[in-house]
Amino acid sequence: MPATRDGKMWRSQFYYKDWQGVSHKKNKRGFRTKAEAEQWERDFLQQQQRNLDINFENFVQIYYEDMEHRLRENTMRTKKFIIDLKIIPYFKNKKMNEIKASDVRAWQNALMKKGYSQTYLKTVNNQLSAIFNYAVKYYDLRDNPCRKAGSIGKSQAGERQFWTKQEFKQFLVTVEDK
């Protein structure tokens, strides 16, 4: 059904079939424009599909819904922060089945230019890889483009060196002499 006017606001009302083939009626109100209501309907229907001809951003919402029940709250919050800030802006409108290793490499290069630490780069890259692993395992994506693109960053940071109180005093004496 098309979007309809509901007083000053717009509403989206339509029928769809869920993953079990059962028909449902979906109704959502409160959109400011007809375009917003129609966009919400398109996004919702796209998320109901079980194929990967879906925008990356919509697939991430499916991923979040599934992972929220399997991860602790703080882990999920960290995951969402990294994905929303570093990954979605780059792959937002690309279809899941159209993202190639070359796209991942370009994204990795853009991240490395920003000067993040090696451990942070590894963490962000792992989040993207986790999304694609999920798609491979549960949605029959042929392969994970992150694997082909290779990894970035390091899993462990170099050991930090600290001065002892004695070493610091010796340093001060040396600096004061000059």
Q: Read off the pLDDT band of 107 (50, 70, 90).
A: very high
Give the tens place of pLDDT for each residue, 131-148.
999 999 988 888 999 999
**What confidence category does residue 175 fall into, taking pLDDT thresholds of 50, 70 and 90?**
confident
Measure the CA–CA gap between 53 and 20, rounded to whole angstroms: 19
pLDDT in the model for residue 73: 95
- The pLDDT of residue 4 is 85
Exposed e or buried b for every residue in 88-123, given b needs 16+ CB within 10 A?
eeebeeeebbebeeeebbebbeebeeeebeeeebbb
What pLDDT does 2 receive?
78
Q: Rounded to whole angstroms, how far apart are CA atoms 80 and 86? A: 10
Instruction: Quick: pLDDT tens for 73-94.
Output: 999 999 999 999 999 999 998 9
> Class for domain 52-178, per CATH?
mainly alpha
Residues in a beta bridge with 15 = 25
Average pLDDT, the chain: 88
- Residue 172 pLDDT exceeds 90: no
Distance of alpha carbon 49 from alpha carbon 7, whole angstroms: 32
Query: At residue 28, what are phi and psi to the nearest 5 degrees?
Result: -140, 135
Q: What is the pLDDT of residues 14-48, one digit of tens each?
A: 888 776 678 888 888 999 999 998 888 888 877 77
